[in-house]
Chain A
Amino acid sequence: QSEAGTAGSSHSMDKSITLPPDEIFRNLENAKRFAIDIGGSLTKLAYYSTVQHKVAKVRSFDHTAKEVPSDKLYEISVQEEITARLHFIKFENAYIETCLDFIKDHLVNTETKVIKATGGGAHKFKDLIEKKLGLKVDKEDEMTCLIKGCNFVLKNIPHEAFVYAKHADSEFRFQNTHPDIFPYLLVNIGSGVSIVKVESEDKFERIGGSSIGGGTFWGLGALLTKTKRFDELLQLASKGQHTSVDMLVKDIYGGSYGSLGLTGDLIASSFGKSATADKDFSKEDMAKSLLHMISNDIGQLACLYAKLHNLSRVYFGGFFIRGHPVTMHTITYSINFFTKGEVQALFLRHEGYLGAIGAFLKGAEEDNPNQYSWGENYAGSSGLMSVSPDINPMQRARSGTFDMLEMDRLERQLVNLPLLQDASSYIPDTVDLTEDALAREYWLSCFEEALDGVVKRAVASQPDIPEAAERAEKFRQKYRHKLQTLRHQPFAYGSLTVRSLLDTREHCLNEFNFPDPYSKIKQRENDVALKYYQKAVKSLEELSWEERQFALVRVELTAGPFCEQLERPWLVDAYDQWIERLKGPPHKCALFFVDNSGMDIILGVMPFVRELLCRGTEVVLASNSGPALNDVTNGELQILTERIAAMDPVIQSGLKEDRLTLVQSGSSSPCLDLRLVSRQLTWQLLPSDILWSFVPQSSKTISSFVFFPLPFPSRLDKVLAMVVRERQTDLVIIEGMGRAIHTNYYAMLTCESLKMAVIKNSWLADRLGGKLFSVVFKYEDPTRKPSKDTVALTPS
């Protein structure tokens, strides 16, 4: 058997598991359906489990009944919900026996009779698996599994694929999930190379290959350098100079070969200078030359096949690639050279798991996992670890032992918003923290400092449960560790964004059973705000049309009492165009992404909705499917809307006539409450506005501001997409700093859009060249020329 060759493995391998196994093989007691992929040095185990979750539900009180309890609007209950989860664990083959023993001891489910197996090592360990687990090993074709796994991750994991750029600000440039992943080319570089064309879920073909692959690098490298291990060879190569071994164009021409456009530094003949008996070459130089030779050759063949089959998406995988910056760089270079930049080499974050995922899917076909949408669980997944020896030795050591991927089944199927101009190029996040080191540093610190507050809030949300404090502490450790990981490896879960930081925190909170820490706060806020609804509407009604439009926008922007700071001109000011537009015919249908509970939704959004309805515009209110901080959820919004309808005939008739519709966004992404943010964020309350003077001070502090993005998911609930299409939506309203600035600022829609926000973060305001509380009011009509007021939100 070959020397174990994966990066990170130590020479003297400790066969005992270094991490508590129950943190690795999680939820085994509910596990069913196993699959295993055993490669030359790594084993990947997959299983399916069901996870019991606590979820917060709201239920309206029957207000007609006699026993109206206190003054509460609705009741909150915590229920148990069962969701599905996929577990994938990667470890070195050396641990396989220990792992099988552990699984056997914890496996309760007796239904499972078969384990799907794939990979070159599957036959070698067949007897061991059957003996230890008592499961029948059912072998599946390696390539079929690989393709199935690849399709699955490409479809379900945003930022799965990335382009590698060694010298760029961020080495990893993650690709947007393309709505249609087919067709593509998969170049699997194992000991040899297989080139597979994938045309659909079930249709793929091995169109070619090459015998010059990872085995050639390893085998020939071992002969030339007397270095046995694959990762050591790569290390040698990363230190070498190939020019002492290779014959370059300039060695033959003295310079470039101009008429063919071949530059002097190109390799004319690999190992061309070593054709002599009387010279010694360093191990490093030979390893480097070999690496170039093999990478260039594979790249060239891949390009020839891509050209012949007219394919532009080419993914590379196999042990030769597997997260090694050295080989990703040389392959990328080769592809760029041979296609003159027309084709980009793409790599996958979960490349190592493809076979296991595919084998699992093969075994789970009756559950039809492909009919669901799945999401990567950031709490349970290790993320992409750089195997570069120079980067963070701690991470490297860990990646050498156990690596995990967990995926949750999403309750609803997600699709693209049909109104996006170009779904494939849409990037929700305005700033990519993977690329922007300053912003990354700021936000990571910001989240770290806010952690104490989040922990306190979580504990407070479960006052009757004594072990809540302990769980909250576990949450703190988990999330802090995630933040530390992200500091070293910002690319671990795809592009790092404020949104992904929030999502990760939400996943960690859920992991420790804090499903909705804000439910009670939201309840109280909604209650208070409702009391002022009629007053607010009345004062708006008293204004002239022009005054009212302006007041509505101001209310929208602030959901609270700002005054001087709202004086125009704003930082981005398309208010005049908006008013001009309002003087024209009404919109057919407006899609409104709502944000916070309390004043924001009740006193900010609803009057605006009301005005639209009065104009004859249908309104679709999209709210979060699941709880996330103080966001109003769909369940809460239904109750709130009913209550408002009872007070307001306009809303009432809107609902009745189906001109006002509530839909779920499909998202459960978080926002952050003011009080949980670090002091660094110098957000302040401002003097009261005349219009809002009747709002009690206490309620302003609760819900007025959303400083964090409400993620505007590129993947949306299917029903929402349908409604949007049916209603012929011609206006999208996005409001709040998080949604309109952090995300979606550059989103191009096929219909008119309104993006409104106040920059309430001095750091960000400073960066955008504006002052604190600058207003962004961006109205865009794709049929007209873009507004000149657009400010570039990324620093120059």
Chain B
Amino acid sequence: MAYNGHQREDEASDDGETPTKQLRSVKEMPGYLRNDTENEAATPGGSATSDRPTSNSTARHRMDSGKKSRPPFPWFGMDIGGTLVKLVYFEPKDITAEEEQEEVENLKSIRRYLTSNIAYGKTGIRDVHLELQDLTMCGRTGNLHFIRFPTHDLPAFLQMGRNKHFSSLHTTLCATGGGAYKFESDFRTMADLQLHKLDELDCLIRGVLYIDSVVSSGPSECYYFENPTDPERCVQRPYTLENPYPLLLVNIGSGVSILAVYSENNYKRVTGTSLGGGTFLGLCCLLTGCSTFEEALEMASQGESTRVDKLVRDIYGGDYERFGLPGWAVASSFGNMMFKEKRESVSKEDLARATLVTITNNIGSITRMCALNEKIERVVFVGNFLRVNTLSMKLLAYAMDYWSKGQLKALFLRHEGYFGAVGALLELLNPS
């Protein structure tokens, strides 16, 4: 079920599996453990978040910096969801010669492996287009990389971590998502790694707010669709999320969580639904025999849902005026499939399209009700269901606008599914 559309069978994976020197890592182990402890003890006092001047870099001995405010490299943030593992990796670009010299072989190897490839193993993908360059985090400047792979390939990932002696680096691996809990013992036993587990909603919100605040150049992080009800004139436009609160944050992963956010630290999970990205893909696999998200989306883009769904006009011949229902509205999703001859006349593409429309509209409908109940007018949709899924985004934009008579605005973020992982990384750099 991998999201492996960009799969690239190259040497990179074999390269990655190459064992590296073990001696050194074993030797360093105690020191780093101690360091970690001190680091943690220091955090409640309030560690610096401000960027340190680069002039300090000479003094930036790894152990020293660790003692003060900065954790040792590598810096990872991880979000282990029901379907996908999202990994963000900060690649420092301001490494001094001294650092370069001191950098342990393992660390170097990991850095090179991650940054020189865009595909890992059979299913790991680096979303190059999302990479954030020249980003300053915790006083260091570098590039933020966004990597994903299916959750069911986590064992392979752990095996790789073991092979690369990741544990010897004694970095704190901040992880969120359900998998941080489910696979905690696997991390320990398979890769000798201790996870620092974080709440996924805390991370999500932190990640959203952070990314939105740091992206200044290139394509705008936040955008919306102008004229969502007019397909001819519907265009993507940048949006400035300056004064974001209150906002409704809808995270569409395998399932859906809906959060009302009043400030960075004040939010509540309003509700959720089990009809999410996993449902779309799961039903598509059963109905069409496809096996990947990309395949399912491709089919959906070529299908026609009105052959599958029963529309208001199919029942009333036109609009149901008494209740203000337009004829084109779906009266019953998959409603035409009650009839044998119609079941026989639809294509797999039609079914994929209907599944996408059904799931998307339902999310839109629940979101709209939550917005009304919470009296919030701005809705931000995130999550990997929206990845390369303009169809759903436009549908959501349309639904929000049409059914609220223009009251609700649907907003989207470029880094869709990575905010949880970003939030986890932020927790590593700046424990809350």
**CB contact list, B165-187 vs A, under 8 A:** 177-179, 181-184
Q: Which residues of A contact B66 (CB under 8 A)?
A: none
**Given known A-B contacts A211-B358, A216-B333, A260-B269, A2 and B339 have beta carbons under 8 A apart:** yes
Q: How far is the CB of A212 from chain B (nearest CB, A)?
A: 5
Do A268 and B255 touch across chains, with their CB atoms under 8 A apart?
yes
Among A270-278, A371-379, A528-536, which stretch is in contact with chain B?
Answer: A270-278
Query: Is B286 part of the binding interface, using a Cβ–Cβ cutoff of 8 Å?
Result: yes
Query: Is B190 part of the binding interface, using a Cβ–Cβ cutoff of 8 Å?
Result: no
Q: Which residues of A contact B261 (CB under 8 A)?
A: none
Do B278 and A271 touch across chains, with their CB atoms under 8 A apart?
yes
Among B112-120, B366-374, B423-431, which stretch is in contact with chain A?
Answer: B366-374
Query: Is B273 part of the binding interface, using a Cβ–Cβ cutoff of 8 Å?
Result: yes
Do A300 and B271 touch across chains, with their CB atoms under 8 A apart?
yes
In angstroms, Cα B255 to Cα A267, docked, is 9
Do B182 and A252 touch across chains, with their CB atoms under 8 A apart?
yes
In the complex, per-residue mask of B323-336: 1 if CB is within 8 Å of any chain A CB, else 0: 10100011111111
In angstroms, Cα B282 to Cα A286, docked, is 11
**Given known A-B contacts A210-B362, A270-B279, A275-B281, A192 and B335 have beta carbons under 8 A apart:** yes
Do A270 and B365 touch across chains, with their CB atoms under 8 A apart?
no
Q: Which residues of B contact A216 (CB under 8 A)?
A: 332-335, 358
Task: Please name the residue on chain A nearest to B337 by beta carbon.
Answer: A219
Q: Which residues of B contact A448 (CB under 8 A)?
A: none
In angstroms, Cα B335 to Cα A196, docked, is 21
Do A224 and B332 touch across chains, with their CB atoms under 8 A apart?
no
Q: Which residues of A contact B106 (CB under 8 A)?
A: none
Query: Is B161 part of the binding interface, using a Cβ–Cβ cutoff of 8 Å?
Result: no
**CB contact list, B308-345 vs A, under 8 A:** 308-310, 315, 322-323, 325, 329-340, 343
Contact of B274 among A214, A281, A296, A307 (CB under 8 A): A296
Query: Is A458 part of the binding interface, using a Cβ–Cβ cutoff of 8 Å?
Result: no
Query: Is B351 part of the binding interface, using a Cβ–Cβ cutoff of 8 Å?
Result: yes
Do B278 and A247 touch across chains, with their CB atoms under 8 A apart?
yes
Q: How far is the CB of A283 from chain B (nearest CB, A)?
A: 11
**Given known A-B contacts A274-B285, A308-B373, A247 and B82 have beta carbons under 8 A apart:** yes
In the complex, per-residue mask of B284-302: 1 if CB is within 8 Å of any chain A CB, else 0: 1111011100000000000
Contact of B332 among A141, A219, A228, A247 (CB under 8 A): A219
**Given known A-B contacts A212-B358, A259-B199, A275-B1, A222 and B338 have beta carbons under 8 A apart:** yes
Contact of A219 among B181, B335, B366, B369 (CB under 8 A): B335
Do A215 and B333 touch across chains, with their CB atoms under 8 A apart?
yes
Q: Which residues of B contact A281 (CB under 8 A)?
A: 286
Query: Is B251 part of the binding interface, using a Cβ–Cβ cutoff of 8 Å?
Result: no
In the complex, per-residue mask of B6-38: 1 if CB is within 8 Å of any chain A CB, else 0: 000000000000000000000000000000000
Task: Please name the residue on chain B nearest to A217 by beta carbon.
Answer: B334
Task: Please name the residue on chain B nearest to A230 by beta carbon.
Answer: B338
Do A276 and B285 touch across chains, with their CB atoms under 8 A apart?
yes
Query: Is B283 part of the binding interface, using a Cβ–Cβ cutoff of 8 Å?
Result: yes
Do B275 and A220 touch across chains, with their CB atoms under 8 A apart?
no
Contact of B182 among A218, A253, A259 (CB under 8 A): A253
Contact of A255 among B1, B181, B343 (CB under 8 A): B181
Contact of A211 among B332, B337, B339 (CB under 8 A): B332
In angstroms, Cα B336 to Cα A424, docked, is 44
- Interface size on B (CB < 8 Å)? 65
Query: Is B121 part of the binding interface, using a Cβ–Cβ cutoff of 8 Å?
Result: no
Do A218 and B255 touch across chains, with their CB atoms under 8 A apart?
no
Query: Is B303 part of the binding interface, using a Cβ–Cβ cutoff of 8 Å?
Result: no
Q: How far is the CB of A641 from chain B (nearest CB, A)?
A: 57
- Interface size on A (CB < 8 Å)? 65
Do A272 and B332 touch across chains, with their CB atoms under 8 A apart?
no
Do B282 and A308 touch across chains, with their CB atoms under 8 A apart?
no
Do A219 and B274 touch across chains, with their CB atoms under 8 A apart?
no
Query: Is B361 part of the binding interface, using a Cβ–Cβ cutoff of 8 Å?
Result: yes
Do B362 and A252 touch across chains, with their CB atoms under 8 A apart?
no
Query: Is B83 part of the binding interface, using a Cβ–Cβ cutoff of 8 Å?
Result: yes
Q: Which residues of B contact A224 (CB under 8 A)?
A: 286-287
Contact of B178 among A5, A141, A249 (CB under 8 A): A249
Which of B274, B281, B287, B289 is most buried by chain A, counting CB atoms within 10 A of its CB?
A: B274
**Given known A-B contacts A191-B335, A268-B82, A271-B279, A254 and B181 have beta carbons under 8 A apart:** yes
Query: Is A367 part of the binding interface, using a Cβ–Cβ cutoff of 8 Å?
Result: no
Q: How far is the CB of A214 from chain B (nearest CB, A)?
A: 8
Q: How far is the CB of A318 from chain B (nearest CB, A)?
A: 11
Task: Please name the residue on chain B nearest to A251 by beta carbon.
Answer: B82
Which of A210, A214, A259 is most buried by chain B, counting CB atoms within 10 A of its CB?
A: A210
Q: Which residues of B contact A259 (CB under 8 A)?
A: 199
**CB contact list, B56-94 vs A, under 8 A:** 81-83
Contact of A191 among B182, B201, B310, B370 (CB under 8 A): B310
Query: Is B39 part of the binding interface, using a Cβ–Cβ cutoff of 8 Å?
Result: no
In angstroms, Cα B273 to Cα A246, docked, is 13
In angstroms, Cα B373 to Cα A301, docked, is 12
Contact of A223 among B329, B351, B365 (CB under 8 A): B351
Do B274 and A301 touch across chains, with their CB atoms under 8 A apart?
no
Q: Which residues of A contact B384 (CB under 8 A)?
A: none
Do A219 and B334 touch across chains, with their CB atoms under 8 A apart?
yes
Query: Is B207 part of the binding interface, using a Cβ–Cβ cutoff of 8 Å?
Result: no
**CB contact list, A221-277 vs B, under 8 A:** 222-224, 228, 245-247, 249, 251-255, 257, 259-260, 266-277
Q: How far is the CB of A382 from chain B (nearest CB, A)?
A: 27
**Given known A-B contacts A218-B338, A281-B286, A211 and B330 have beta carbons under 8 A apart:** yes
Q: How far is the CB of B369 from chain A (nearest CB, A)?
A: 4
Query: Is B276 part of the binding interface, using a Cβ–Cβ cutoff of 8 Å?
Result: yes
In angstroms, Cα B184 to Cα A286, docked, is 31
Contact of B282 among A218, A249, A274, A300 (CB under 8 A): A274
In angstroms, Cα B358 to Cα A440, docked, is 48
Query: Is B392 part of the binding interface, using a Cβ–Cβ cutoff of 8 Å?
Result: no
Do A211 and B282 touch across chains, with their CB atoms under 8 A apart?
no
Contact of A215 among B276, B322, B332, B365 (CB under 8 A): B332
Q: Which residues of A contact B329 (CB under 8 A)?
A: 211
In angstroms, Cα B272 to Cα A266, docked, is 11
**Given known A-B contacts A252-B178, A270-B279, A275-B282, A297 and B339 have beta carbons under 8 A apart:** no
Do B351 and A269 touch across chains, with their CB atoms under 8 A apart?
no
Q: How far is the CB of B334 from chain A (nearest CB, A)?
A: 4
**Given known A-B contacts A293-B274, A307-B373, A269 and B335 have beta carbons under 8 A apart:** no
Q: Which residues of A contact B365 (CB under 8 A)?
A: 210, 301
**CB contact list, A272-322 vs B, under 8 A:** 272-278, 281, 286, 293, 296-297, 300-301, 304-305, 307-308
Task: Please name the residue on chain A nearest to B341 by beta carbon.
Answer: A1
**Given known A-B contacts A212-B333, A269-B279, A254 and B182 have beta carbons under 8 A apart:** yes
Do B286 and A143 touch across chains, with their CB atoms under 8 A apart?
no
**Given known A-B contacts A245-B282, A249-B178, A272 and B83 have beta carbons under 8 A apart:** yes
Do B369 and A305 touch across chains, with their CB atoms under 8 A apart?
yes
Query: Is A338 part of the binding interface, using a Cβ–Cβ cutoff of 8 Å?
Result: yes
Query: Is A656 part of the binding interface, using a Cβ–Cβ cutoff of 8 Å?
Result: no
Query: Is A213 part of the binding interface, using a Cβ–Cβ cutoff of 8 Å?
Result: yes
Q: Which residues of B contact A120 (CB under 8 A)?
A: 315
Query: Is A467 part of the binding interface, using a Cβ–Cβ cutoff of 8 Å?
Result: no
**Given known A-B contacts A211-B358, A269-B276, A308-B369, A252 and B81 have beta carbons under 8 A apart:** yes
Interchain residue pairs with CB less than 8 A apart (7): A5-B338, A215-B332, A215-B333, A216-B334, A252-B254, A254-B184, A272-B282
List A residues at the B interface (Cβ < 8 Å): 1-3, 5, 120, 141, 143, 190-192, 194, 206, 208-216, 218-220, 222-224, 228, 245-247, 249, 251-255, 257, 259-260, 266-278, 281, 286, 293, 296-297, 300-301, 304-305, 307-308, 338
Given A191-B310, A218-B338, A254-B181, 5 more contacts at CB 8 Å? A220-B334, A252-B82, A252-B182, A275-B284, A296-B273
List B residues at the A interface (Cβ < 8 Å): 1, 81-83, 177-179, 181-184, 199, 201, 253-255, 269, 271, 273-279, 281-287, 289-291, 308-310, 315, 322-323, 325, 329-340, 343, 351, 358, 361-362, 365-366, 369-370, 372-373
A-B pairs, 8 with minimum CB distance: A219-B337, A271-B282, A254-B182, A269-B278, A252-B178, A215-B332, A272-B278, A215-B335
